[in-house]
Chain A
Amino acid sequence: MSTAKFGRFGTAHQTSWDWRAAANFIGGGTGSALLALTVLVSLPGAADGPLALIALAFIGAGLACVWMEIGRPWRAFNVLFHPQTSWMTREAYIAALIVVLFAASFVTGAAPASFAAGLAALLFLYAQARILRAARGIPAWREPAVVPLIIATGLVEGMSVLVLVQIVRGGATGWALALLFALVAGRGLAWTRYRSALLASDAPRSTRATLETMHRSLLFAGTAAPLVAAAIGVVAPGTVAVMGTVAALAALGAGWHAKFLLVVRAAQVQGYALGNKLRRGHPLAAR
């Protein structure tokens, strides 16, 4: 082991969270954003039922994956014990709230319940972003810019699925592609901000290497391709179905790939270090 005197050493890849955790961020992000956007495009009425069910299926699949990862699955309800500070607990409560509100909307057809479910879905997306942010042992996750990145990525994924479903139903519009265009551009900015912040930090070398893989994927497949395809679809309405499919698949695939890499590959642990602030005197003397 060779290191600069005050540099970190002993960094290693975290093995605590694997593809199942990544699947929770992928499914949860896609589903929650899809639900929120479905509510948005259905206003002032209640959300489209089948689309909302697809959204719930994404969220449920993500949570099922993370349930398969925990060491004591039959104690899963203990996850609800710490809403005071744990974003994982909050995520679980919000997921339950989404189900209740959607059920109320589905049974009664009440638009306010649907609207509330959409807002709860956005909260769920935010909670997922904060889960990563709170992991202080992983430099790639604790970076504050990860929050807008996860939210922006989720919104793009949700919008991509919405566009694909609309295309299958034969109802895709230029407006939907325009919204996808805007969200993809927003994600590009969030990614640029996150990447710059992480490169300026003392993130481990392996994290930086993974960051470059993510950058290539998000830049070309995740941003440039969907922007061009969506723009063509908007200006040439006859191509909406084809260009929409290209834009949505590219944006969706790159987003899922980036999240997988972020959770599974970029997550190097903090490592150890000598403190660079040698002090003398009792630690409590300054009190």
Chain B
Amino acid sequence: MTRYVMVADLNRCVGCQTCTAACKHTNATPPGVQWRKVLDIEMGEYPEVERLFMPVGCQHCSDPPCMEVCPSTATGRRDDGIVTIDYELCIGCSYCAVACPYQARYKVETPRFSYGDTPTDTEAIRFDPGRIGVAQKCTFCADRIDAGLARGLTPGLDPDATPACANACIANALTFGDLEDPDSNVSKLLGEKTWFRMHEELGTDPGFYYLWDEK
């Protein structure tokens, strides 16, 4: 069995949003849609204030509330743990968006471009009308993973089989890999460091782990 997960090291993340930009570039998401983004968090009251950066997005849960509620079966979960959306099936009811505890889903009703109504050359080429009026979210760059696997590459190790955000991270804060493989990069990190998952109490079994060495 395989379960692909993302590990985000909060002690390493510098909040540069390179992952955000890489995701937008790779997946051609319109303005206002960020499948991957980094939260800038300030906690506490002066002078006891802490600041950290937290990458968020679809957590690719093993019990995804979005899939449970989806009336059209557009949301599915692959055997490798990646939660997907079939844009051809989705009716755009947004039930998944209100069921997701991670604010990971977006729906764009009309085409949006960076500079008004006219798309740039790149936007015109990469515009996908199939994504209008339906739910969309992070795919863990599933097509990239599949293409890499077909070439015998290892997701998480080989860039051509690894999500764009993890490839782009300048601080090596994002690591992708197979949780079920005890020798994978993510297994080693999780075995060595302290970690948590967001909103575990909701029973979603998220596939996004946060390393945090609380000082």
A87 at interface, CB cutoff 8 A: yes
**Residue contact B193 to A270, C-beta cutoff 8 Å:** no
**Residue contact A88 to B41, C-beta cutoff 8 Å:** no
A89 at interface, CB cutoff 8 A: yes
Question: In chain B, what residue has the closest Cβ to A5?
Answer: B43
Interface-lining segment among B14-22, B99-107, B114-122, B167-175:
B99-107
**Residue contact B90 to A72, C-beta cutoff 8 Å:** yes
Interface-lining segment among B23-31, B139-147, B149-157, B202-210:
B202-210
Q: A275-B196, A281-B191 are in contact. Are A79 and B212 (CB under 8 A)?
A: no
Which one, B92, B101, B200, contacts A137 given CB within 8 A? B101
User: What 0/1 pattern do residues 177 to 201 of B give for CB contact below 8 A with A?
Assistant: 0011010000100110111111110
**Residue contact B71 to A88, C-beta cutoff 8 Å:** yes
Distance in Å: Cβ of B67 to nearest Cβ of chain A: 8
Give Cα A284 to B68, complex, Å: 24
**Residue contact B70 to A82, C-beta cutoff 8 Å:** yes
User: What 0/1 pattern do residues 37 to 62 of B give for CB contact below 8 A with A?
Assistant: 00111111100011000101000000
**Residue contact A282 to B182, C-beta cutoff 8 Å:** yes
Q: Among residues 63 to 93 in chain B, which have CB atoms less than 8 Å away from a CB atom of chain A?
A: 65, 67-74, 89-93
Q: Among residues 1 to 17 in chain A, which have CB atoms less than 8 Å away from a CB atom of chain B?
A: 1-5, 9-10, 12, 14, 16-17
Question: In chain A, what residue has the closest Cβ to B68?
Answer: A85
Which one, A79, A141, A267, A275, contacts B200 given CB within 8 A? A275
Q: A2-B49, A270-B102 are in contact. List 17 more A-B contacts (CB 8 A).
A: A1-B41, A5-B43, A9-B41, A16-B97, A69-B93, A69-B94, A71-B93, A78-B90, A79-B91, A86-B70, A134-B69, A137-B101, A272-B39, A279-B195, A279-B196, A282-B187, A285-B191
**Residue contact B98 to A86, C-beta cutoff 8 Å:** no
Give Cα A17 to B135, complex, Å: 13
A selection of 8 A-B contacts at a CB cut-off of 8 Å is: A69-B93, A81-B72, A86-B68, A88-B69, A136-B204, A137-B65, A274-B210, A275-B196
Distance in Å: Cβ of A110 to nearest Cβ of chain B: 32
Q: A81-B71, A82-B71 are in contact. Are A16 and B44 (CB under 8 A)?
A: no
Give Cα A278 to B210, complex, Å: 9
**Residue contact B196 to A276, C-beta cutoff 8 Å:** yes
User: What 0/1 pattern do residues 91 to 115 of A give for CB contact below 8 A with B?
Assistant: 0100000000000000000000000
Which one, A5, A14, A78, A285, contacts B91 given CB within 8 A? A78
B33 at interface, CB cutoff 8 A: no
Q: Which residues of A contact B72 (CB under 8 A)?
A: 75, 78-79, 81-82
**Residue contact B107 to A71, C-beta cutoff 8 Å:** yes
Which one, B93, B107, B210, contacts A275 given CB within 8 A? B210
Q: A275-B197, A279-B195 are in contact. Are A135 and B68 (CB under 8 A)?
A: no
B13 at interface, CB cutoff 8 A: no
Most B Cβ at <10 Å: residue of A10, A82, A141: A82
Lowest 7 CB-CB distances: which A-B pairs, in order? A71-B92, A275-B196, A71-B133, A16-B94, A78-B72, A88-B71, A136-B65
Q: Which residues of B contact A276 (CB under 8 A)?
A: 196
Q: A17-B94, A88-B93 are in contact. Are A136 and B101 (CB under 8 A)?
A: yes
Q: Among residues 254 to 283 in chain A, which have CB atoms less than 8 Å away from a CB atom of chain B?
A: 267, 269-283
Q: Which residues of A contact B209 (CB under 8 A)?
A: 283
B127 at interface, CB cutoff 8 A: no
Give Cα A88 to B70, complex, Å: 8
Q: A16-B107, A78-B71, A272-B56 are in contact. Are A134 and B194 (CB under 8 A)?
A: no
